[in-house]
Amino acid sequence: MISSRISGFTFLLIAAALLAVSGCKITLSGASTTPEMKTITIQYFPNNASLVQPTLSQALTEALKERVIAETSLQLVDQTGDLSFEGEITNYAVNPVAIQQNETAAMNRLTVTIRIKFTNNVDDKLSYETNFTRYEDYLSTADLTSVEETLIASINEQLVEDMFNKAFVNW
């Protein structure tokens, strides 16, 4: 038991030394930045989907800002950050799923797709441009307006996770 404590302690010392030597900052969340990365710009994500949910753009933008502030040491700036997120919501749709024998849907699916451009002005090879799609299913007997806020919160959390991981957790 003592040897396992020493081994764990030794591992932590070696890991800390390697991080100090590498000059790369890694947080407990796994986010990785270099000392040259000090600022980030996160633009408002407009909703350009054919069906527009009024609070989705603001909620998604704020969720990403909160995640970056909480899990990195980057300073949020209005423009010309060392790192930058911009994009748009391209799809917001509700479709039936789980069709039953009587040809009615037991479940509906709320799907949100975003187009993202992440620019890393410190190391351009870490920049990306891609689409992310996430969805949540809900009972077809439920009225969308009664469950929409909860569904959006869950979908936003997943989309932010996707954007954050692709930008900062490049293992």
Domains contained in the chain, CATH given: 35-168 (3.30.160.150)
CB–CB of 148/110 below 8 Å?
Answer: yes
pLDDT at 26 over 60: no
pLDDT at 6 over 80: no
Between 109 and 5, where is the model more confident?
109
- Residues 77-100 have a mean pLDDT of 92
- Residues 126-142 have a mean pLDDT of 95
pLDDT tens readout for residues 77-88: 999 999 999 999
CA 95 to centroid of chain Cα atoms: 24
CB–CB of 41/77 below 8 Å?
Answer: yes
Report how far apart, in Å, the C-alpha atoms of 101 and of each of 81, 93, 108 are.
Answer: 54, 24, 16
Please give the backbone phi and psi of residue 28, each rounded to the nearest 5 degrees, phi first. -65, -25
Q: Give the pTM.
A: 0.79
pLDDT band at 30 (very low <50, low <70, confident <90, very high): low
- Residues 42-69 have a mean pLDDT of 96
